[in-house]
Each structure stands twice: as C-alpha cells, then as structure tokens.
Structure 1
Amino acid sequence: MASRVSLKAKGKNSKSSKASEERSASQCLKEWSTWAMKRAKVVTHYGFIPLVIIIGMNSEPKPHLSQLLSPV
C-alpha cells in the first residue's frame, strides 16, 4: 500500500515549509504517474485483442468471427 504524503509544514521556517510542499507535490505527481502507468499497462494488456477483433469485424468485407480467429 502506498504511503500517504502529508502537506502540513513541519518546522518554524516558512522557507523550509515551502520546500517541503514542493517536494510533496512532486512526490504526489511521481506517485500519480506511476499509478497511471500501471493501470495503462493492464488496460493495454487486456484490451488489445478485443480491439483487434472489433476493428476486424467492422471492416469491409465483413468477416465472421471464426474467420477472424482462424490462423489461415
């Protein structure tokens, strides 16, 4: 489970709090992009073959499903 990023400042100096906010924002962006890429990989993995079948069935001439799935 991913760790949560706190946006609260932990210090007396306002400059360090701004730096920690920037670091936490960049950390959030990094975690979000990693999460998005993992999901995109799963969607691509399971969606590619159905997409090819759907595109093949909508082309001219209209083949039957058995013709699309046969290797010949």
Structure 2
Amino acid sequence: MASKVTLKSKGKTTNKGSKGSDERSVAQSVKEWSTWAMKKAKVVTHYGFIPLIIVIGMNSEPKPQLSQLLSPV
C-alpha cells in the first residue's frame, strides 16, 4: 500500500476567488487606510494646534498685537 502524504499549512488560509476573501481584503484595506489617516491627523494636530490658537487670537476683538499673544502675562 502506498501512503498518502499530506501537508498542513501554518497560518491563515486564503480561498482565492471567494466572496469571503474579497470582504476580508476590503476590511483590511479600510483598517490600513484608517490607521494611515489617524497617524497623519495626529501629526497635523500636533504641529497645527498652537498656530491655530494664534490665528484665532489675532482675529478676535479687541485685536491684540502678536507680542501680546505670545507673552505669558
């Protein structure tokens, strides 16, 4: 009798052409995009917050000088 050799794969198995893999790839794409967007939003918020406050302060009434906005008193 000849014995049959089977190979077991480790990790995730993918079913090519199935609807489940398409949904999984879309979900993975959305996850990657949202992670990328959140990283960019963190950088924009980090570097844009103080300039935003200065611009808002410059456009308020009464109009302060830039030195008055930047001084701690």
The bucket for the TM-score relative to the shorter chain is 0.7 to 0.9
For each residue in 1:5-54, what CA deviation from the matched residue of structure 2 results, as whole angstroms up to 9, or x when unmatched?
A: xxxx72xxx5xx11100000000000000000000000000000000000
2:44 aligned with 1:43, yes or no?
yes
> Which residue does the alignment assign to 1:6?
none
**Quick one: which amino acid aligns to residue 29 of structure 2?**
C
Task: Show structure 2 runs of 5+ residues with no match.
Answer: 1-14
2:58 — aligned with what? 57
Would you tell me which structure has more helix in proportion to its own residues?
1
Number of equivalenced pairs:
59
Q: Distance in 2 between matches of 1:19 and 1:63?
A: 60
C-alpha separation in 2, matches of 1:20 and 1:60: 58
**How much is the aligned-residue C-alpha RMSD, in angstroms?**
1.2
Moved over 3 A (4+): none
Pairing 1:1-72 to 2, within 5 Å after superposition: 10=16, 17-72=18-73
Task: For 1:27 and 1:59, locate their aligned partners in 2 and report how far apart those are by CA, in whole Å.
Answer: 45
Write the distance in 2 (CA, Å) between the matches of 1:56 and 1:46.
17
What's the counterpart of residue 8 of structure 2?
none
TM-score (norm 1): 0.78
